[in-house]
Amino acid sequence: MSSKIALISDDSDFFDFIKLKLELRRSDELFEFCFDEVPDKINFLESAVLIVNSEQAQQKTLDLLNIFNNGTPIIVTSYNYDNTFSKKCYRLGMLDFVPILTPDNEFRARMLPALSISALLHKNRQYRQLLVRNKILNQNNEVFIKYENVIDNAILEVKNNGKKAIFGIISPDNKGKFLIKQNLIETIILNNLRKNDILINYEPNKYYLIMYDSDLISVKKHWEKISNKFPQKVYAGFVCIKNQNRAQLINNAQSQLQEEIEKLSSGNEMPHSNSIVNFKQYRKTLESKMEQLVTPIFFCIQQKYSNKFTGVKIEQFYENNCGYFNIVGKHFFASFKISNPGFTNINIDISVKKDGEGGDIKRISLNRDEFDSGLLEGLLEKFVSDVKMLMQ
């Protein structure tokens, strides 16, 4: 399969130097762009491997990484290695940092993961184009349109034409959905489906799957192979499509999904408080679980709004068993703090100080059993929205 590689630099000498390292095949496509051309070429570059020359262009490189958030493989190069700059690039989604003077054989070897990802993205785009032509996808929206109709049609085909079909719900757990890059689940699954199978994205990182001419045993075996390709655990619940209506079908699959999540994650679950003998061990386990839940959510919300505010800084960190999400401006300071000081309760303290004056602290106390990532995400989104209103 041919590869599409784009070199990005404001230095024309860089293009000639890198070409010698690549050893391109006749079928490969190579393109050259300066940084200013990138915004107009985004759709073209999304399924290419980008090799970016950051020498004398560190800020432009960071701006470029900010543009691409769909998993596009980006390799950053420079004559000199800057550890601080490299960390910034990794946080923004860079695949690898390869110094320009790296030996040719090593340079080509480190290109292989990027070429593999590019091939997956290319197949993903082809599949999307097919779905758009069949009016299943909207050209400007990655979410399936009227998925209810797609499921209803599958039920009718089974009922009227005697077809065999399996329906499934695919989802990470509450923690995993924040750790997996957007579209990665979709890309991996689509690369392992047949042409007549249908994948439906109904929520971020959550999918319905319809597989025709299949039975439960073969589908579950096939899913085992697919699930091993994900960087985080992804669960699935499958049921046969028979005489159910859509609501019954979804509920049955949802029950199977929940059973899978409980079964496969039971080894990592915290014991109920009634069975705890060692309080210190319990506290340690709870604190670890809190940090693992809070940190990825705080990070995702920080990334989501980092460029949406003017003249403010959004910071988040976790220390001394407390999570902090702060929005800091010239004349105000807003804080969202989460802690677990007691045996069962989790406290969220929200405060806003404006013009140096101390504001009231609003406390929300939650029972550990009702606390989950969805609730935390909702409370944090409301906090950001309220702060934004105060700034206007």
Whether residue 242 lies inside any domain: the answer is yes
* Token output for 60: 């432009």
- Predicted confidence at residue 275, as pLDDT, reads 43
Q: Which residues is 203 bridged to in the sheet?
A: 206
Amino acid at 153: N
- Predicted confidence at residue 178, as pLDDT, reads 63
Whether residue 69 lies inside any domain: the answer is yes
- Say yes or no: 305 and 245 in one domain: no
pLDDT tens-place values along the chain, 392 residues long: 578 899 999 988 898 888 888 877 777 888 999 998 888 887 778 778 999 999 989 999 998 888 886 678 899 999 888 889 999 998 888 989 999 888 988 988 888 888 888 887 777 777 766 666 655 555 554 444 567 888 888 898 888 888 889 999 998 876 666 667 667 888 888 888 887 888 888 777 788 999 988 899 999 999 998 988 887 788 999 999 988 888 889 988 988 888 887 776 554 444 444 444 455 555 566 666 677 778 888 888 888 888 777 788 899 988 878 889 999 888 788 899 998 765 557 888 888 887 766 666 787 877 766 677 777 888 898 888 888 877 76
- Predicted confidence at residue 372, as pLDDT, reads 74
- Say yes or no: 192 and 254 in one domain: yes
- Say yes or no: 277 and 264 in one domain: no
- Predicted confidence at residue 116, as pLDDT, reads 84
* Distance, first Cα to last Cα, the chain: 53
268, 283, 302: which is the final residue of a domain?
268
Contact between 308 and 299 (Cβ < 8 Å): no
Whether residue 191 lies inside any domain: the answer is yes
- Predicted confidence at residue 281, as pLDDT, reads 59
- Say yes or no: 263 and 282 in one domain: no
100, 123, 146: which is the final residue of a domain?
123
Whether residue 115 lies inside any domain: the answer is yes
- Say yes or no: 347 and 331 in one domain: yes
- Say yes or no: 322 and 248 in one domain: no
- Say yes or no: 377 and 263 in one domain: no
Q: Which residues is 312 bridged to in the sheet?
A: 329
Greatest C-alpha distance within the chain: 71
Q: Which position has the token pair 């439906």?
A: 200
Contact between 334 and 383 (Cβ < 8 Å): yes
- Say yes or no: 99 and 15 in one domain: yes
How far is residue 368 from each of residues 149, 263, 326, 338, measured CA to CA in Å?
39, 21, 23, 12
CATH number, domain at 182? 3.30.70.270
- Say yes or no: 117 and 148 in one domain: no
- Say yes or no: 115 and 167 in one domain: no
DSSP string, 69-99: -S---EEEE-SS--HHHHHHHHHTT--EE--
Whether residue 339 lies inside any domain: the answer is yes
Q: Which position has the token pair 């971020």?
A: 204
CATH number, domain at 68? 3.40.50.2300
- Predicted confidence at residue 274, as pLDDT, reads 45
Whether residue 240 lies inside any domain: the answer is yes
- Say yes or no: 255 and 364 in one domain: no
Q: Which residues is 329 bridged to in the sheet?
A: 312
- Predicted confidence at residue 69, as pLDDT, reads 64
Looking at the 3D structure of the chain, how many domains does it have?
A: 3
Whether residue 130 lies inside any domain: the answer is no
- Say yes or no: 281 and 386 in one domain: yes
Phi first, then psi: give them for residue 174, nearest 5 degrees.
-60, -35
Whether residue 128 lies inside any domain: the answer is no
268, 293, 324: which is the final residue of a domain?
268
- Predicted confidence at residue 299, as pLDDT, reads 87
Range of the domain at 280: 273-391
Q: Which residues is 165 bridged to in the sheet?
A: 212
